[in-house]
């Protein structure tokens, strides 16, 4: 089965800036991102991230360090989703409000952002998947900007990485909020490589299509796998749901990590009685565990899941 490779839009950043990336357990993305930034710190909680940035900014001011004062940006990396950034809990939890930033735990991260105001930091850039996307992304960045008194920006699409580079999904843009401007929401990039034919899957050395399915099981999560809900469908229902979900063009994901969260696991069982398991990132990208073949999802996974019994 022929697979497409993801185009690389390489980016490197952070020379002279305050750079810190989560050390939470994941698929290797955090290490990949940290390797791309100059003099990168690793943090295990929200407080640790801002301890470093504030300390570095203040040290530059006290020592009249030209680099620290002239390049006042802060780059913070981790796994994300719309309006959300992990700062230590990793890709799959367990949930810890001290290790994640999102709208509903401002009581935790807000005081840390307040510490930025008296420093030389000029802007905060978030390196993760989808943190700036949608209404939640716009609201989250605006609340951050109000607390720190600076512009805050985050990407609207997937952030991919490997051992030598990192790049944004094609179509991703920076969403930017300032203390004086709550931005209009920006939707995530639409699904890529979507065709008109049924998706093909590698199963036990052969190829099978959606029409060969006998069942589909979907387990969805919120922040971690301890609070999942599972639904399934069989027969024609399984074929219909999978046909709406999967694009026809497979992607080669070997050696490529993404900075999203695992929001679901899909198990497909075929007429041959063989099954494949796919991890779903941010409800938009499914990656098969064994062969590391990826598929952008066409339909809203949440909507289809809600319709299932």
Query: Average pLDDT for residues 219-241, to the nearest whole number?
Result: 85
Phi first, then psi, for residue 290 (nearest 5°) are -80, -55
Those residues with Cβ within 8 angstroms of residue 253's Cβ, 6 or more apart along the chain or in another chain:
6, 287, 292, 293, 294
pLDDT at site 247: 76
Average pLDDT of the segment spanning 152-169? 94
On the question of pLDDT at 235 being above 90, the answer is yes
Burial of residue 155 (CB within 10 Å: 0-12, 13-18, 19+) is buried
DSSP annotation of 210 reads G
Rg of the chain taking only CA atoms, in angstroms: 20
CATH no., domain 4-177:
3.40.50
Instruction: Give pTM, 2 decimals.
Output: 0.91
Residue 196's pLDDT is what? 66
Q: What is the mean pLDDT of residues 140-164?
A: 96
Order of all β-strands in the sheet with 213-220 = 4-5, 251-252, 293-296, 285-288, 275-281, 262-270, 213-220, 229-234
Q: Coil, helix or strand for 5?
A: strand
What share of the chain has pLDDT > 70, as a percent? 87
35-to-29, 47, 127, 250, 256 alpha-carbon distances in Å: 10, 22, 13, 28, 15
Lowest mean per-residue pLDDT among 73-82, 124-133, 169-178, 193-202 = 193-202
Four-point Cα dihedral 99, 103, 105, 111, nearest 10: 90
Instruction: Return the number of other C-beta atoms located less than 10 Å from residue 117's C-beta.
Output: 12
* Per-range mean pLDDT, top range of 142-146, 206-210, 225-229, 281-285: 142-146
Distance CA 91, CA 24 (A): 7
Q: Are 84 and 102 in contact (CB under 8 A)?
A: yes
Does residue 288 register a pLDDT over 60? yes
Predicted confidence band of residue 55 (pLDDT cuts 50, 70, 90):
confident
pLDDT tens sequence across 102-129: 999 999 999 999 999 999 899 999 999 9
Q: Which two tokens stand for residue 167?
A: 């790049």
Rounded to an integer, what is the distance from CA 222 to the centroid of its chain? 14
Q: What is the pLDDT of residue 93?
A: 77
Q: Does the pLDDT value for residue 254 go beyond 60?
A: yes
pLDDT category of residue 72 using cuts at 50, 70 and 90: confident
The full set of domain ranges for the chain reads 4-177, 200-307
Note the pLDDT tens digit of each residue in 7-16: 554 555 667 7
67 band by pLDDT with thresholds 50, 70 and 90: very low
**What confidence score (pLDDT) does residue 5 get?**
62
**What band does 2 get if pLDDT is binned at 50, 70 and 90?**
low
- CA distances in angstroms from 63 to 18, 40, 66, 157, listed in the order given: 16, 20, 9, 38
**Cβ atoms < 10 Å from Cβ of 198:** 18
Among 201, 219, 220, 221, which residue's Cα sits nearest to residue 211?
201
In angstroms, rounded to a whole number, what is the distance separating the alpha carbons of residues 215 and 212? Answer: 9
Tokens of 196: 């008109």
Residue with tokens 């796994």: 79
């Amino acid at each position: 089965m022929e697979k497409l490779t993801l185009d690389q839009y390489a980016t490197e950043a952070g020379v002279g800036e305050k750079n810190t990336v989560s050390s939470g357990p994941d698929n290797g993305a955090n290490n990949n991102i940290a390797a791309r930034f100059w003099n990168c710190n690793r943090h295990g909680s929200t407080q640790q991230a801002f301890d470093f940035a504030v300390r570095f900014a203040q040290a530059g001011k006290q020592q009249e360090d030209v680099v620290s004062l002239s390049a006042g940006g802060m780059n913070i990396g981790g796994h994300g989703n719309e309006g959300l950034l992990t700062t230590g809990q990793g890709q799959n939890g367990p949930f810890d409000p001290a290790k994640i930033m999102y709208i509903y735990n401002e009581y935790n991260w807000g005081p840390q952002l307040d510490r930025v105001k008296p420093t030389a930091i000029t802007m905060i850039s978030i390196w993760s998947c989808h943190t700036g996307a949608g209404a939640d992304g716009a609201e989250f960045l605006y609340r951050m900007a109000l607390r720190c008194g600076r512009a805050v920006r985050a990407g609207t699409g997937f952030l991919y990485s490997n051992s030598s580079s990192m790049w944004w999904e094609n179509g991703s843009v920076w969403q930017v909020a300032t203390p004086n401007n709550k931005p209009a929401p920006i939707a995530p990039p639409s699904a890529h490589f979507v065709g008109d034919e049924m998706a093909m899957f590698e199963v036990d050395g052969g190829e099978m299509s959606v029409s060969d399915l006998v069942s589909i099981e979907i387990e969805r999560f919120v922040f971690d796998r301890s609070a999942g809900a599972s639904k399934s469908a069989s027969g024609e229902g399984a074929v219909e749901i999978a046909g709406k979900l999967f694009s026809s063009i497979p992607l080669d994901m070997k050696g490529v990590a993404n900075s999203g969260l695992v929001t679901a696991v899909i198990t497909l069982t075929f007429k041959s009685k063989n099954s494949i398991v796919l991890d779903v990132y941010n409800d938009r990208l499914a990656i098969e565990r064994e062969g590391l073949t990826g598929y952008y999802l066409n339909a809203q996974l949440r909507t289809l899941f809600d319709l299932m019994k």
